Amino acid sequence: MGSRYINRELSWLDFNARVLQEASNKQVPILERLRFIGIFSNNLDEFFQVRYATVKRIADTKPTIKNNKDNIVAKKLLDEITSKVINLQSESSLILESIEKSLKKENIVFINEREVLESHKEFLKDYFIRKISPALVTVILSNNKLHDFKDNKAFLIINIKLIDSSNIYALVEIPRDISRFVVLPKKDNKQYIMLIDDIIRYHLEIIFSFFNYSHIEAHMLKITRSAEFDIDDIDLSKSYIKKIQEYVNKRKISNPVRLVYDQSISSSTLNYLIKKIKITSHDSLIPGGKYHHRSDYMNFPDLQRSDLLYPKEKSLDIKDFKIESNLLDQMLSKDFLMYTPYHSFSYLVSILRQSAIDPSVKSIKITLYRLSEKSNVISSLINAAKNGKKVLVQIELQARFDEENNIKVSQQLKAAGVDLIFGVKGLKVHSKICLIERFKGNKKRYYGFISTGNFNESTAKIYSDFTLFTSNQKILKEVNKVFSFLKANYKIYDYKHLIVSPHQTSKKLFELIDNEISNVRKGLKGKIIFKLNSFTSYKFVDKLYEASKSGVKITLLVRGICCLVPNKTGFSENIIVKSVVDKYLEHSRIYVFENAGDKKVYISSADLMTRNIEKRVEVACPIYQEDLKKQILDTLEISDNDNVKTRIINNLSQNKFVTNSKNKIRSQWDTYSYFKNILN
């Protein structure tokens, strides 16, 4: 691909480096920095399970004349990834050490098994016997039996040296249902924290008391396995749910793609592990410190220290949208826009709850992708079904890492009499749409909402997403067409308002880009703004290069991967790429076209990635109401002017912060203030 494109895997690692920047930033509250360490680690786990696993599969393919070039490129890329990850892991360890030192100054002290105070011994023994010991899974490893090293679990590998000089190896799984961080009783005004790992180490003699040993040691390790499977390969005679369940179970014992281990482990123990796990030469061996599975820091306790956290802002009301009154009636007169987490997600749940008991509502149709474990959305839909409404739910069982929860939810919905659609063959359903059918007299009218994010109460507190609440019949009749396609996907529909993948997105967006090119050639202003999570589609990259060469000014606000090389003489000098990483996860997708002054604004579920454009059902919705269009454009302008949390993305030096002498604008803070001011 040459210098026209940035490699997507390396670009993703650059994104995760931006997350790590937040962990290292001393302006960020200390406990929030710890949580960014957790997010960084969790991101890396998923990267190895998905992206690294895909590259590894290509590298491991037996070379042929046809694939030899791909094979060589993949092997080189694996080496680059491993090198970059080792550097990032090393940096994250130094940052964690720095955070722990800062916490010490706040009288929050981490102690290990060698630093236990006399006054804590009884507490720890009691905690171990009551809480930890019953939850421990301990496996004695033998040379003639293959044991299940589960995916993305943290283990202690125990080397027991017996009196007769022989060795026994054991595996202790770190329990996941207990908080990894144990808060010990305060002493001298100091708050002590101990990791479960060290409490287990401290009590090894209790666990292995029946062995006659001279020496015992424990080192931590974590195995990451491939999450890439082709579901179409599973026995088609089985039910769809059964196939997904098999897929999830297979993933737990799939090929290992990474072994992170304590670098102080003995070479004999490490070699034993490598043979036992069947690590191949192309797998990623990542030496690390004493502790792994740092994703647990995402849930680090707040210790009742609000002074060490970001201030908690109350979610705002939506202007003129009275949640205590009939929301559907209010939607008759105009549209409303919700921007979580700045606005309260309760509006969406309340619309479903009201619809569930409204006698004039006859049916509810909704697409679901990722759900919170205790979902008010689901309870509202079940409530509607119990009240005799016809409820149709498209639930995407293939939502990666949410399959088991989605299967459980689908069974609850089915038991309540909800009609379920499990997807379209060869496509994931990633659109975020809901359609409510309501009768007043004999007149049918649609109401609904279209969003950039999942209908998930938990993520709505930390993901920034736009949701349009509307009774625009032209838009909603097309939403109904999407549901008709989901039910009978041999029917392909035309859309005048929505932009729908997989059939239309490329064509419609290319037409809109061509319109900007045409306007510039006529001497008019041409401008495009895309706000995205990821930008990896080479055909869209090339199309924007074409627009840039024609003089169209392009701003890309991309949180994660970006394969486009911006600001490069010859093909992209009119393109600027920026990325904001801050308290909330920037998740909304927005497309804006200047259109000779009459701006076209869309909110969408789709990033500009090949999978979103060609292999998923996605919906982009136009914003027609001028006040709502202005709100979106204003938030984009705030983001574009951020000079506190914005990084510049290019092919030379990634992740430099935007700095200038203008008044400080921190887009997430200023966006909250913007919507707060609208209410006044």
The CA angle 454-458-461, to the nearest 5 degrees, is: 90
What's the pLDDT score for residue 491?
Answer: 83
Q: Are 536 and 609 in contact (CB under 8 A)?
A: yes
Termini Cα distance of the chain: 52
Tokens linked to 466: 């736009």
Tokens linked to 251: 């993933």
What's the pLDDT score for residue 62?
Answer: 72
From residue 508, alpha-carbon distances to 136, 496, 585 in Å are: 56, 10, 28
Collapsing DSSP to helix, strand or coil, 304 comes out as coil
- Out of 203, 293, 343, 430, which one is annotated catalytic? 430
What's the pLDDT score for residue 568?
Answer: 87
What's the pLDDT score for residue 618?
Answer: 96
Chunked into runs of 10 residues, the chain (680 residues) has average pLDDT values of: 80 95 97 97 84 77 67 84 87 94 96 96 96 92 64 82 89 90 95 96 92 91 66 42 51 61 89 77 68 90 96 96 97 97 98 98 94 88 96 79 72 90 83 96 94 94 97 98 90 94 95 98 98 96 97 97 91 95 97 98 97 94 98 98 94 83 97 96
Alpha-helical segments (H) within 525-666: 538-549, 610-614, 626-640
H/E run at residue 166: none
Beta strands at 336-340 and 463-470: parallel, antiparallel or unpaired:
antiparallel
What's the pLDDT score for residue 284?
Answer: 61
How do the domains of the chain map onto residue ranges? 2-308, 327-487, 499-679
What's the pLDDT score for residue 280?
Answer: 62
What's the pLDDT score for residue 489?
Answer: 82
Superfamily of domain 499-679: Endonuclease Chain A (3.30.870.10)
What's the pLDDT score for residue 462?
Answer: 95
Of the CATH numbers 3.90.1170.50, 3.30.70.1520, 3.10.20.310, 3.30.870.10, which one belongs to the domain with range 327-487? Answer: 3.30.870.10
**Radius of gyration of the chain from its Cα atoms, rounded to whole angstroms:** 27
What's the pLDDT score for residue 235?
Answer: 40
| pTM beyond 0.85, yes or no | yes
8-state DSSP, 535 = B
Cα gap 65→224, rounded to integer Å: 31
Place of tokens 């027609």: 624
Q: Residue 146 contacts by C-beta under 8 Å, 6 or more apart in sequence?
A: 276
From residue 183, alpha-carbon distances to 197, 389, 400 in Å are: 14, 48, 33
What's the pLDDT score for residue 14?
Answer: 93
Write the single-letter amino acid at 30. Answer: I
8-state DSSP, 306 = G
What's the pLDDT score for residue 177?
Answer: 87
292 is catalytic: no
Tell me the per-residue pLDDT of 131-146, one tens digit each, with 9 for 90 and over: 999 999 898 887 656 5
Q: Comparing 2-308 with 499-679, is the CATH topology the same?
A: no
Superfamily of domain 2-308: Polyphosphate kinase middle domain (3.30.1840.10)
What's the pLDDT score for residue 237?
Answer: 37
Cα gap 208→206, rounded to integer Å: 6
